[in-house]
C-alpha cells in the first residue's frame, strides 16, 4: 500500500498543480466575436467616408472561402492529427519533449494550442516555461469543449498574424499575392503556411531564400501525406516565390490629419459611453464638407508645388545649401547617424566628414529639410463648424498637423488684436499716429526697433490705413497705448486659447507662437460680431443601425469684443482686402462681396499667413518649412504671395460650386453714439471738439518742466507718455506746423506723439496739465 501511494504521489501532485492553474487561465468567451466586429466609420456632413477605424487589418472569411491548398498545407505541417485529438496531441508532445531533451528543439503545440497562445498572449504568455505550457494546454482543452474542429480552423486562419499589420489568411493573400484567399494555389499556400513557424525569419519579402526553403519543406510534407505526387513535388521545388507584394495599409482618406484627431476623440467618447470603437460599428458624422475638403486639398497642393520649385531653385543655388555650411552642420549633428558615429568613438569633425561623404544621405537630408509645408482650415463663424481641414501637403510624408499641432509666429495676422483692443478703448479708425521709427525698451536693458519693408514716411497715418497696409511702426506705437496684457487678453477671448502668449511689446507684431486653428477661430469671432463660438467637428454619433446616440449642437456664443468696437475692426480689415496687403483677393481672384482679412509674414520670411473672413466662412492658411531655420525668400515668401493664393483658389472654387453666397452680409454693426460721428479724427481716444464738451472744471496749472524720461517712451523724435499721475501731455508745436496729436486715454489718461526734435519752435519745455476727474493710475 505504501509503495502504491508513493507511486501515485506524482500523479496527485500533478493533478493538484493542474487544478491550481485552471483559475489562472482565460475564460473562453465568444472567439468568433471578431468575425462579427464592425469597425467605426467617420463620415462628412454630406455622407462621404473619411476614415474607417479598425483595430487590426483583417477581413474575416468563412472556412469554405479559403483555398483547400491552405488547409492541406496547414494540417500537414502544423497538426497532422488535428481531427483526432481533443486539443492536446500526447504522442506529438512526448516526441517533442524527447527530441528537445536530445538537443533537437521541436515544437509540440497543436493548432488549438497555437490559437490559445495567439488569442490570449497576456494571460498565457510566450516564455518557454512549464507554467506557460500548462496554461496553454488547459486553454486549448477549454476551446475544444466550446467549438467544433472546423470552427477552430476558421478562427485560427482568420486571426493568425502575417506581418505588416496583416491578420488572417485573406489579408495575407492580398498583401503577398494580390488575390483572395480562395484563389491561392499550392505554391502560394505553402509559402504563407511556411511563414507561421516564424513570420519575421521566413518573411518572403526580406528573406526570400529562407522563405523558399521553408516553402519546399511544406511541399515535402504535403507529398509525404499523399497530397502531392512526387513528380509534382520535384517540379514545384524549383519554382520561384513569385510574390506580388503590396502593403494593405489603411488608406489615409481625404482628411487624414483630422481622422487621426477624431480617432482619439472617438475612443474617449466610447469609453465614457460604454461603447467599443472597433467592434460596435459606430458612425460619426463630422462637420467636414467633402466638396470643400477636396477643394482645400487641391488649392494647397497646387500652390505648394509652385512654391516648392522656387524653394528648390533657392536651396540648390550658389547661396543655397552648400553655402550654408554652419547650418547644414547643425542639421547633421541632430541626426541619429551622427550620434551613432560619435558613440562609436569618432570625433565631431570625423563624424561630420563621414556623413558629408555619403551623397545619398545628404540628398535625403536636404530634401527633408527644404520640403515646404502648409496647412489650411475653414470654419463657419456663426456655428464654429469646421468645413475643411488640411494638415500638410501629403500625410504619407508628413503626419505632423500644421492646423492643430504646429505652433508658429503669426506675424501681422496678430495685429487685429492690437487694433481691436484700441477700438474697444475708444480709438477711431480715422485716428492718426506718425509713421516714424520707434525705440521700445524691452525691460531687460535692450531696445526693440520694429521696422517695415519700406522707409517711414514721417507723415500722420490713420489707424485704418495702418492696419490695411500692415505698418509695424504704427502698430508698435499703438501697442504702447493699449498695453500687452490687454492685447493678450483680447486674443485669448477671441479664440487663441491653447497657446501661451508672451505679454511683451512685440506681441502686437505676432511674435508669440500660436496654431492656425486658433487664429482662424479668432477671425471667425470678428466675422461673428465679436462673439466667439468654439470650433466644432462632430454633428452626431450613431449606432450601426442609424440610431442617434448623441447629437452635438454649436457651442453657445461667448462675448469677446464689444460689437461696436468689433464693427470698427471688421471695417478696417475690409480695407486690408480692398486696398491693402490682401488686395489680390479682389484683383487676381475676382472675389466679390463682403470680405475682410489680413496677411502675415514673419522675420526673414520664415512663415507666410493669410486669413480671409467671409460672412459665412473663415479660411486660414499657413506656409513655411518644418524647421524654422529654413526660410523662404523675397518676394514669394511673403504671406500675400505664399499663403494668400491657396485661400484665393479655395474661395474661387467654393463660389463657383455655390457653397458660399457672395451676397452674404456680415452682421449689422450697432449704431455708434452720436459723439463718435460728430467730427473727424476724434473719439474717446482723442479729445473731442471743445464745442461738444461741457465746460470743464478749472484745472490747476503745473509749472513748466522738462518731461522726465520715466514719463514716456521715446518714439523717434516724439514721446508716448505714460505719466505716473493722470495728465494730458502737451508738446510745443513745430514752427509753422500743426499742433501735435494728443491721444486721451480713458479715464482721462492721455499720450502724445510729439513732433521730431530739432523741429520744435523755441526751447519751451513740455507742460503737464492735471486731468479733471481723473480716476488715478491705471493699466
Predicted local distance difference test score (pLDDT) of residue 91: 72
CB-based contacts of 19, cutoff 8 Å, min separation 6: none
When comparing pLDDT for 55 and 17, which is higher?
A: 55
Reduce the DSSP state of residue 4 to 3 states and report it. helix
DSSP 710: G
When comparing pLDDT for 755 and 81, which is higher?
A: 81
pLDDT of 721 higher than 60 = no
pLDDT of 481 higher than 60 = yes
When comparing pLDDT for 600 and 159, which is higher?
A: 600
Lookup: cell for 564: 461696436
pLDDT in tens, 279-290: 889 999 999 999
CB count in 10 Å sphere of residue 295: 23
Predicted local distance difference test score (pLDDT) of residue 92: 64
Predicted local distance difference test score (pLDDT) of residue 130: 63
- What average pLDDT does the chain have? 82
pLDDT of 687 higher than 50 = no
Predicted local distance difference test score (pLDDT) of residue 631: 94
Predicted local distance difference test score (pLDDT) of residue 353: 94
The highest-confidence range among 24-38, 331-345, 527-541, by mean pLDDT, is: 527-541
Predicted local distance difference test score (pLDDT) of residue 479: 93
Dihedral, 209, 211, 217, 220 alpha carbons, nearest 10: -90
User: What is the value of pTM for the model shown?
Assistant: 0.72
* pLDDT band with cut points at 50, 70 and 90 for residue 25: low
Q: What's the rounded mean pLDDT across residues 557-572?
A: 96
* pLDDT band with cut points at 50, 70 and 90 for residue 133: confident
Least confident interval from 100-109, 359-368, 720-729: 720-729
pLDDT in tens, 165-179: 888 999 999 999 999
DSSP 276-332: -TTTB--EEEES--HHHHHHHHHHHHHHHHHHHHHHHHHHHSTTSGGG-HHHHHHHH
Q: What's the rounded mean pLDDT across residues 523-537?
A: 97
pLDDT in tens, 571-582: 999 999 999 999
Nearest to 593 by CA among 526, 647, 660, 668: 660
Q: How far apart are CA 264 and CA 653, in angstroms?
A: 31
Predicted local distance difference test score (pLDDT) of residue 119: 81
Least confident interval from 221-225, 428-432, 670-674, 706-710: 706-710
**Residue carrying the nine cell digits 493538484:** 16
Q: Where are the alpha helices (DSSP H) in 167-275?
A: 169-177, 186-195, 208-224, 230-237, 256-272
In contact, 78 and 217? CB cutoff 8 Å: no
Quote the percentage of the chain above a pLDDT of 70: 77
Q: Where are the alpha helices (DSSP H) in 380-530?
A: 415-424, 463-468, 472-482, 484-494, 516-527
pLDDT in tens, 385-432: 999 999 999 998 999 999 999 999 999 999 999 999 999 999 999 999
Predicted local distance difference test score (pLDDT) of residue 549: 97
User: H or E element: which one contains 551?
Assistant: strand 548-551
Predicted local distance difference test score (pLDDT) of residue 278: 85
Amino acid at each position: 500500500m505504501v509503495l502504491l501511494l508513493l507511486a501515485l504521489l506524482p500523479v496527485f501532485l500533478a493533478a493538484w498543480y493542474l487544478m491550481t492553474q485552471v483559475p489562472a487561465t482565460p475564460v473562453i468567451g465568444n472567439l468568433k466575436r471578431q468575425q462579427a466586429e464592425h469597425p467605426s466609420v467617420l463620415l462628412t456632413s454630406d455622407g462621404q467616408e473619411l476614415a474607417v477605424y479598425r483595430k487590426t487589418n483583417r477581413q474575416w472569411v468563412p472556412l469554405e472561402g479559403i483555398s483547400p491548398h491552405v488547409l492541406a498545407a496547414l494540417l500537414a505541417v502544423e497538426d497532422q492529427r488535428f481531427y483526432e485529438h481533443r486539443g492536446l496531441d500526447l504522442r506529438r508532445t512526448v516526441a517533442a519533449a524527447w527530441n528537445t531533451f536530445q538537443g533537437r528543439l521541436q515544437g509540440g503545440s497543436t493548432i488549438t494550442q497555437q490559437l490559445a497562445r495567439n488569442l490570449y498572449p497576456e494571460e498565457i504568455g510566450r516564455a518557454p516555461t512549464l507554467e506557460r505550457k500548462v496554461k496553454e494546454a488547459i486553454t486549448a482543452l477549454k476551446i475544444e469543449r466550446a467549438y467544433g474542429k472546423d470552427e477552430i480552423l476558421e478562427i485560427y486562419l482568420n486571426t493568425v498574424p502575417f506581418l505588416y499589420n496583416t491578420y488572417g489568411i485573406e489579408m495575407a493573400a492580398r498583401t503577398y499575392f494580390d488575390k483572395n484567399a480562395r484563389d491561392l494555389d499550392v505554391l502560394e499556400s505553402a509559402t504563407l503556411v511556411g511563414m507561421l513557424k516564424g513570420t519575421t525569419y521566413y518573411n518572403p519579402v526580406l528573406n526570400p531564400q529562407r522563405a523558399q526553403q521553408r516553402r519546399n519543406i511544406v511541399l515535402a510534407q504535403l507529398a509525404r501525406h499523399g497530397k502531392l505526387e512526387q513528380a509534382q513535388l520535384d517540379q514545384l521545388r524549383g519554382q520561384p516565390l513569385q510574390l506580388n507584394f503590396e502593403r494593405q495599409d489603411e488608406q489615409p482618406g481625404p482628411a487624414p490629419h483630422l481622422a487621426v484627431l477624431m480617432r482619439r476623440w472617438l475612443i474617449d467618447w466610447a469609453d465614457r459611453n460604454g461603447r467599443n470603437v472597433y467592434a460596435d460599428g459606430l458612425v460619426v458624422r463630422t462637420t467636414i464638407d467633402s466638396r470643400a475638403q477636396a477643394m482645400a486639398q487641391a488649392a494647397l497642393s497646387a500652390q505648394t508645388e509652385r512654391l516648392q520649385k522656387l524653394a528648390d531653385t533657392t536651396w540648390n543655388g550658389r547661396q543655397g545649401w552648400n553655402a550654408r555650411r554652419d547650418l547644414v552642420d547643425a542639421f547633421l549633428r541632430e541626426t541619429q547617424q551622427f550620434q551613432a558615429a560619435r558613440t562609436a568613438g569618432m570625433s565631431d569633425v570625423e563624424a561630420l566628414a563621414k556623413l558629408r561623404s555619403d551623397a545619398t544621405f545628404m540628398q535625403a537630408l536636404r530634401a527633408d529639410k527644404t520640403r515646404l509645408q502648409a496647412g489650411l482650415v475653414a470654419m463657419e463663424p456663426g456655428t464654429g463648424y469646421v468645413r475643411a481641414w488640411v494638415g500638410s501637403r501629403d500625410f504619407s510624408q508628413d503626419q505632423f498637423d500644421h492646423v492643430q499641432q504646429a505652433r508658429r509666429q503669426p506675424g501681422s495676422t496678430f495685429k487685429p488684436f492690437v487694433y481691436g483692443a484700441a477700438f474697444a478703448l475708444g480709438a477711431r479708425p480715422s485716428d492718426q499716429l506718425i509713421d516714424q521709427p520707434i525705440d521700445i525698451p524691452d525691460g531687460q536693458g535692450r531696445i526693440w526697433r520694429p521696422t517695415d519693408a519700406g522707409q517711414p514716411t514721417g507723415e500722420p497715418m490713420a489707424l485704418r490705413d495702418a492696419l490695411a497696409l500692415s505698418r509695424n511702426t504704427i502698430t508698435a506705437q499703438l501697442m504702447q497705448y493699449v498695453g500687452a496684457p490687454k492685447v493678450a487678453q483680447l486674443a485669448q477671448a477671441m479664440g487663441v486659447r491653447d497657446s501661451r502668449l508672451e505679454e511683451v511689446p512685440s506681441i502686437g507684431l505676432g511674435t508669440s507662437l500660436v496654431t492656425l486653428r486658433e487664429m482662424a477661430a479668432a477671425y471667425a469671432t470678428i466675422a461673428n460680431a465679436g462673439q466667439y463660438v468654439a470650433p466644432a467637428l462632430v454633428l452626431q454619433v450613431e449606432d450601426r443601425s442609424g440610431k442617434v446616440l448623441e447629437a452635438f449642437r454649436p457651442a453657445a456664443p461667448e462675448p469677446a469684443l464689444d460689437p461696436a468696437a468689433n464693427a470698427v475692426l471688421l471695417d478696417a480689415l475690409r480695407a486690408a482686402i480692398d486696398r491693402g496687403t490682401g488686395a489680390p483677393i479682389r484683383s487676381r481672384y475676382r472675389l466679390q462681396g463682403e470680405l475682410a482679412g489680413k496677411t502675415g509674414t514673419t522675420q526673414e520670411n520664415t512663415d507666410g499667413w493669410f486669413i480671409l473672413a467671409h460672412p459665412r466662412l473663415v479660411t486660414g492658411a499657413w506656409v513655411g518649412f518644418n524647421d524654422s531655420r529654413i526660410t523662404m525668400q523675397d518676394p514669394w515668401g511673403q504671406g500675400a504671395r505664399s499663403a494668400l493664393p491657396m485661400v484665393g483658389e479655395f474661395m474661387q472654387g467654393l463660389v463657383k460650386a455655390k457653397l458660399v453666397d457672395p451676397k452674404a452680409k456680415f452682421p449689422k454693426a450697432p449704431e455708434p453714439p452720436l459723439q463718435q460721428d460728430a467730427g473727424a479724427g476724434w473719439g474717446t481716444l482723442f479729445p473731442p471738439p471743445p464745442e461738444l464738451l461741457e465746460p470743464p472744471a478749472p484745472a490747476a496749472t503745473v509749472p513748466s518742466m522738462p518731461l522726465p524720461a520715466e514719463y514716456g517712451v521715446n518714439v523717434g523724435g516724439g514721446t508716448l507718455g505714460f505719466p505716473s499721475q493722470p495728465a494730458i501731455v502737451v508738446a510745443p508745436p513745430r514752427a509753422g506746423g500743426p499742433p501735435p496729436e494728443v491721444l486721451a486715454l480713458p479715464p482721462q489718461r492721455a499720450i502724445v506723439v510729439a513732433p521730431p526734435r530739432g523741429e520744435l519752435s523755441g526751447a519751451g519745455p513740455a507742460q503737464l496739465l492735471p486731468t479733471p476727474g481723473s480716476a488715478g493710475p491705471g493699466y
